[in-house]
Every structure is written in structure tokens, then in C-alpha cells.
Amino acid sequence: MPHIEVRDVSLTYDTPAGRVAGVERASFDIEQSEFLCLVGPSGCGKSTLLNIIAGFLAPTSGEIRIGGQAVTGRGTDRGIVFQDFAQLFPWRTALRNVAFGLEMKGVPNPEREKIALEQLRLVKLEKFADAYPHHLSGGMQQRVAIARALAYNPAVLLMDEPFAALDALTRDDMQRLLEDVWRETRKTVVYVTHNVAEAVYLADRVVVMTPHPGKVKAQVPIRLARPRDPLSVEFLDYQKELLRHLGDRAAKPDGA
Amino acid sequence: MSAFPDRTRSMHRAATSLVLVAAAYEGIARSGYFPAALLPTLPAVGRALVEGVLDGSLPGHAVSTLYRVLLGMALAVVFGLPLGILMGRFRPIEGFFLPLASALMPIPSLAWVPVFILWFGLGNATAIGIVFYAALFPMLLNAWSGVRSVNPLWLRAGSAMGADERSLFWKVIVPGASPFIITGLRQAFLRAWIAVVGAEMLAASDWGLGWVIFDAKEFLKTDVMLAALAVIGLIGFVFERLVFGTLERATVLRWGMVREANG
């Protein structure tokens, strides 16, 4: 059985101009421990779909099943990382941000901070445990956000363009780090991006979406050994394939 | 962080402005254009101040004024803070209380003094009631604005991590609104401090810094009036800088939610 099943999911918005389909009849499966990327230009419904999986939005029709159970709302079986650095709580240190989910679970303190520190070590930030978010760089803040989303041990990690606001060099480092974290934790990851190169670097499989209305256009398994070489011919061929599916409106190969 | 040289420089600047204004006043007071009884020199005011402090009368008055302010303000915080937060969080509560606040807020607190005197009599109850009235709205409105300004991502992240409504309230909304809540406390204290002096002039029988000024006027003791004014200003300054400044440095400034003040 797939870990996550997306079944005929549609979401329509009522706007002054009439009903608009944000997502139209999306269907695909995500396997246990798979790294799945949702790729598409803005307006294709990829973030909307992620928010439906997260339980922040309810679909107009269709359903999401995780481990065979229909999703009816938010749940701590899913961790989520957003694009905006401001997602961290500025009044908590890195460590206490990471410990938040454990605190909500009722994990008592010495143990809570021990687990949180392990999570920070996973993203190589254990030295910054006592720093407040505003003293950390954007990349470090996103690493804290990843540690925070993993700390209460959800089976699924949902990521909404987490590195889109970072500079290209930091983004490359972060992608390598995320790959390591994923290999170590074996979470099922659903990762939204508009960056084709990022999708080819990270994903086991890419779901390509196109806008107006937001539809699943194609599914492309990436069959390259890890860690992947972004300059190899095969890597570039995958990028070309994804761009072909996206049509003229797509981002350039380097994702700029 | 070079906080220390900055602090020293800002103290220098503050001292410079104070000394310049004091020197200008002294010049005018000594010029002889105005009667000394109306415009006493600074040494005369200083003498009145020292005498008042030494015989224990000014500290006594200051304590009763502070008692009224702190009690009235505590009541305003106890009611205004939770109500403002609930208004920001729940639409029906906002719908009920916002029109009330909008209607009552523009009424100057001192306009209530005669009414309060009829209801509560002369003395502490009226002064505390006026302070409560003056401090309530800044507290309420800032808490309300603070909750509305909480980053929705914090609420999303919090609830995704399993926070229920109660945890969201205490661990996300209240700290998230803290820059506004601290501003609310500051403004509430300022309004309370202004209101208490007025209320004491009109409603206190024989204690309080406002009453000292009012009473000294009867005997044309301008030096005592100015000494009392200096104490009022000093206590206000100490609260603003030490109490609220320290609170700010320990919280929202440390968390990077507001920037450092200059001056």
C-alpha cells in the first residue's frame, strides 16, 4: 500500500470572477520513504495541494489518505516547513523552537531538550542551540525549521519551497544537507518547488503540474544514482524532459 | 554589539538637552522681568524639593500617587489585556466590545471625575477608577492590534506541531503579540500617570502629588508646586526608562521583534 494516496483531489475557489479551479482532479501515490517533488510554475496549485495534504485546506472533492487513513485535518503525523524564514518563533531559541512539538506532545523537559539537540545536530546547528532566530542566517533558520518539523517524529515531511528565498550557493548546500537528513531519517517527503534543477537533484519522482486549472501533467521518475551530479548529461536530460512537460511557461534550467 | 558606548552617548545627549533647558529657565527666572514668587529660581525649587523629601512629605505623597496608579493600572491590565486578546482572536467578542470601546475611548478620563465623585466619594476609589479608565483603552486596543498582527505562519506552524487552542493562545499568540502588549503597557502607564495627577487635584482629600500642587497654589508656594512637578516627571521618567525599557530589552528587543531605540 502506498504511504500517501492522492485521490481525485479538486479545490475550487469562489472569486468575484466566478469559480476558479485551484487544483483539478489530482491523483497520484507516494510510497513509503519516497522523495516526491511537485514541480510547476506559480498558480499551478502545487502549494495548494501541499496544504491539502497538510490538512490546512479541505478539498472540494476527492480525498487524501495517509497510511490508509483519510486526512480530515492537521495531524502530528506530518511535519511542515514553509518558505518564509519568519516561520520560526522569534521569542524562542533555536533549541526551544525545535522542542515546541515535543512540548505539545507532553514530553518532559530533560528528555525534550535532549531530542531537540539531536535534531539540531542532524542539521549541523547544535552549536547554535541557544541563539535566537534573528541572529541566524536565512539558511540556518531554514535548517532549524527542518529540525523543528522532524523533532516530534512525523512519518511525512511536507516542504513548501523551503530554499526558494536563499541565494544559489546556500541553496546547493541546503539541498545536500536535506538529502543527508532524508537518507538518515527515511521520511516520506513531499517537496514543492518551481526549480527544475532542484527537483532533479532531490526527487525519486517528480510530479509536474500546469496551471489554469492546476492539473497533474506528468510523472517522471528520476533514475540517477545519489549523490547526483548536476553537470552530468543525464541530469541535464531530465531537466529538459521536465521543461518539455512544463511547456513555454517554464522556468529556465537553472531555476532562475 | 556595542551597546555600552551607545548608552553612554545617549545619556550624554539627554544630559545636554536637560542642562540647556534648565540654564534657559534659570536665566529667565533671574532676569527680574517676572515676580520671584511666580518664577522661583532652580535653587529655590531644589530647596523645596530637599525639604519635602527630608520631612517625608513628598515621598509620602508620591507613595499614595503610585499606589493609585499601580492599582488602577493593574485593574486595567487584568481586564484590558485578556479582553483585547480575546477580541483579536474571536470575531463575536470583537463585534460586541469594539463599538463600546470606540464610544467610550474618546471621553477624557478627567471628564468622569465629577461623576465618579458622586458615585464613589472623594478619595482613593475615585482616583483609582479614573486611572483604570485612562489605562484600560490603550491596553485593550494594543492587545487587540497585537493579536491581529501575529504572523499567520506562527499559528500554522504551531497547530501543525500539535498545539491546541489553549497552547496556541499562551505559547504563540501572547508572545507573538508582545511588542504591542509592551507598547500597550507603556501607553497605559503614561495615560494613567497623567490622569492620576488630574484626579488628585479634583478628588483627593489630602494625599498625592496632584493634591500637593493644587494645595500649594492656594498659598502661592510656586517652589513647592515646581518641586512636586519635578517628582512627577522623575517618577514617570524612571518608569518609562527603567521599568519599560528593561522589560523591552529582556523580551522583544532580545528576540529581534523591534529595533533598538535611539536616545
Residue A178 has, within 13 A of its CA and on its CB side, a CA count of: 31
* Contacts with B159 from chain A: Cβ below 8 Å: 74
B153, B161, B251 member nearest A100 (Cβ): B161
A78, A54 Cβ separation under 8 angstroms: yes
Interface test with B, best of A77, A84, A89, A97 (most B CBs within 10 A): A89
Per-residue pLDDT tens over the stretch B39-80: 889 999 999 999 989 988 889 999 999 999 999 999 999 999
DSSP of chain B: --HHHHHHHHHHHHHHHHHHHHHHHHHHHHTSSS-TTTS--HHHHHHHHHHHHHTTHHHHHHHHHHHHHHHHHHHHHHHHHHHHHHHHH-HHHHHHHHHHHHHHTTS-GGGGHHHHHHHH-SSHHHHHHHHHHHHHHHHHHHHHHHHHTS-HHHHHHHHHTT--HHHHIIIIIHHHTHHHHHHHHHHHHHHHHHHHHHHHHHH-SS-SHHHHHHHHHHTT-HHHHHHHHHHHHHHHHHIIIIIIHHHHHHTTTTTTSSPPP--
pLDDT of B2 over the 60 cut? no
DSSP state letter for A86: G
Contact A76 B161 (CB under 8 A): yes
Contact A78 B256 (CB under 8 A): no
Per-residue pLDDT tens over the stretch B44-54: 999 999 998 99
Q: What are A4's three cell numbers?
A: 500517501
Q: What are B21's three cell numbers?
A: 533647558
* Contacts with B153 from chain A: Cβ below 8 Å: 82, 84, 86-87
Provide residues of A within 8 Å CB-CB of chain B: 54, 56, 74, 76, 78-80, 82, 84, 86-87, 89-91, 100-101, 103-105, 132-135, 148-149, 152
Q: Kind and range of the H or E element at A62? A: strand A61-66
Q: What are B5's three cell numbers?
A: 558606548
DSSP state letter for A133: G
pLDDT of A73 over the 80 cut? yes
Quick one: pLDDT band at residue B8, thresholds 50, 70, 90? confident
Q: State residue B206's pLDDT score.
A: 77
What are the b/e assignments for B87-96, b being 16+ CB within 10 Å?
bbbeeebbee
User: Collapsing DSSP states into helix, strand and coil, what is residue A67?
Assistant: coil
On the 0-12 / 13-18 / 19+ scale of CB atoms within 10 A, B163 is buried
Contact B256 A132 (CB under 8 A): yes
Q: How far apart are the first and last CA of chain B?
A: 17
Q: State residue A196's pLDDT score.
A: 93
Per-residue pLDDT tens over the stretch A2-58: 899 999 898 988 888 777 778 888 889 999 999 999 998 888 888 999 999 999 999
pLDDT of B153 over the 60 cut? yes
Who contacts A165 (Cβ-Cβ below 8 Å, separation ≥6)?
Answer: A83, A84, A85, A138
Per-residue pLDDT tens over the stretch A138-166: 999 999 999 999 999 999 999 999 999 89
* Contacts with A89 from chain B: Cβ below 8 Å: 154, 157, 172, 175-176
A76, A87, A100 member nearest B153 (Cβ): A87
Which residue type does B181 have? I
Which residue type does B175 have? P
Of A48, A237, A99, A83, residue with least CA distance to A174: A83
Q: Write down the H helix ranges in A152-232.
A: 168-185, 196-202
Interface test with A, best of B149, B150, B161 (most A CBs within 10 A): B161
| Phi, then psi, of B99 in degrees rounded to 5 | -60, -40
CB neighbours of residue A90 within 10 Å? 20
pLDDT of A210 over the 90 cut? no
Helices and strands per DSSP (H, E), number in chain A: 8, 10
pLDDT of A185 over the 50 cut? yes
A35, A91 Cβ separation under 8 angstroms: no
Of A120, A123, A252, A129, residue with least CA distance to A176: A123
Is the peptide bond preceding residue A59 cis, with omega within 30 degrees of 0? no
DSSP of A19-49: EEEEEEEEEEEE-TT-EEEEE--TTSSHHHH
Euclidean distance between CA atoms A241 and B154, whole angstroms: 38
pLDDT of B113 over the 80 cut? yes
When mean pLDDT is compared across A115-129, B151-165, B192-206, the lowest value belongs to B192-206
pLDDT of A253 over the 60 cut? no
What percent of chain A lies above the pLDDT cut of 70?
Answer: 96
Q: What is the dihedral of CA B233, B238, B239, B240, to 10 degrees?
A: 80
Q: State residue B4's pLDDT score.
A: 58
Q: Kind and range of the H or E element at A159? A: strand A156-160
A192, A161 Cβ separation under 8 angstroms: yes
User: Collapsing DSSP states into helix, strand and coil, what is residue A141?
Assistant: helix
Task: Report chain B's mean pLDDT, rounded to a whole number.
Answer: 89
pLDDT of A212 over the 90 cut? no
Give CA angle at A37 (A36, A38), nearest 5°. 125
ipTM of the complex: 0.87
On the 0-12 / 13-18 / 19+ scale of CB atoms within 10 A, B19 is exposed
pLDDT of B263 over the 70 cut? no
Per-residue pLDDT tens over the stretch A88-123: 999 999 999 999 999 999 999 899 999 999 999 999
Q: State residue A250's pLDDT score.
A: 43
